[in-house]
Homo-oligomer: A and B are copies of this chain.
Amino acid sequence: MIRVSIDSAPIELAVELSALEERGAGGVASFTGVVRGGDGITALELEHYPGMTEDALCTLAEAAMDRWNLLGVTILHRIGRMEVGERIVFIGTAAAHRREALDACAYLIDRLKTDAPFWKREWRGQETSWVEPRASDAQAATRWES
């Protein structure tokens, strides 16, 4: 089962994790990205490419299902403005065995960073600046090439 959603509404962890557990999995792994404060940041704003972004996330989920023996994959990404402490992204994977769930979860967040068309800007009070891509993200994605 694949669930992909791009939405401005908050991400509800309990609901998403319960749905994955109900796949009959022995193990559920998750990663949640949260807006981090510091450096004067008061909020983030996320923009996406309607249509292409949804496709990119579905393609990633399918690639994970092909590569590992998974019972469920959930990829949620928020768009719009988010305050410090709010969730930006949620990856959840369900599998009979923990290794597959954990590896697939790490793969999905690494690849999402480079493969899905999202753009992020930081708000510091009334000032905004677009976030530059990090070389470490490109590097992290390459470790899954096989």
Contacts and interface: CB of A to CB of B under 8 A. Distances in A.
Interface in A1-46: 13-14, 17-18, 21-22, 24-34, 36-38
A32 B24 contact: no
Of A21, A34, A37, A105, most buried by chain B (CB within 10 Å of CB) is A34
B105 A109 contact: no
A25 B36 contact: yes
Contact of A98 (B14, B17, B31, B38): B31
A116 interface: no
User: Copy number in this complex?
Assistant: 2
Contacts of A25: 34, 36
A34 B23 CA distance: 11
A85 interface: yes
A27 B17 contact: no
A56 interface: no
A27 B22 CA distance: 24
Interface of A: 13-14, 17-18, 21-22, 24-34, 36-38, 85, 87, 96, 98-99, 101-102, 105-106, 109, 140
User: Across chains A and B, which 5 residue pairs bring their CB atoms closest together, nearest first?
Assistant: A14-B14, A26-B36, A28-B32, A30-B30, A102-B106
